[in-house]
Amino acid sequence: MAPKHGPWRAHVVLHDVAERQIDEMTDADREVLDAAIVRLSLDHRIGTRVEGKLEWEYRDGRVRVVYIPTVVGTIILVAYVEVD
């Protein structure tokens, strides 16, 4: 019998700017951000497309993520992150 796998996820790539922002966050902020990035990896359409641009924005409570998904959603480039 074939092993059961979890849900399909997109590969998330962090831009240099996002990596620097994450490096400066506290562990608690990283945990909040990690949960948001997992949600995006499962369905990048939960965000809102920025009108006239390639970027999408996802906001949830204290988290804001600006990202660019590939056409078929297999890769998500995270350009900017913040946790308030």
Whole-model pTM over 0.85? yes
> For position 71, what pLDDT does the model report?
82
Weakest mean pLDDT among 2-6, 28-32, 34-38, 56-60: 2-6
Greater confidence, 6 or 25? 25
User: Considering the domain 11-83, what is its CATH architecture?
Assistant: 2-Layer Sandwich (3.30)
Give me 49's structure tokens: 């497309």
Burial class from Cβ neighbours inside 10 Å (0-12, 13-18, 19+) for residue 36 reads buried
Where along the chain do its domains lie?
11-83
- The average pLDDT across 60-74 equals 92
Bridge partners of residue 13, in order along the sequence:
77
Give me 44's structure tokens: 């990048």
Residue found by looking up tokens 């700017």 in the block = 17
Burial class from Cβ neighbours inside 10 Å (0-12, 13-18, 19+) for residue 64 reads middle
> For position 44, what pLDDT does the model report?
92
> For position 7, what pLDDT does the model report?
76
C-alpha span between 20 and 68 (Å, rounded) = 18
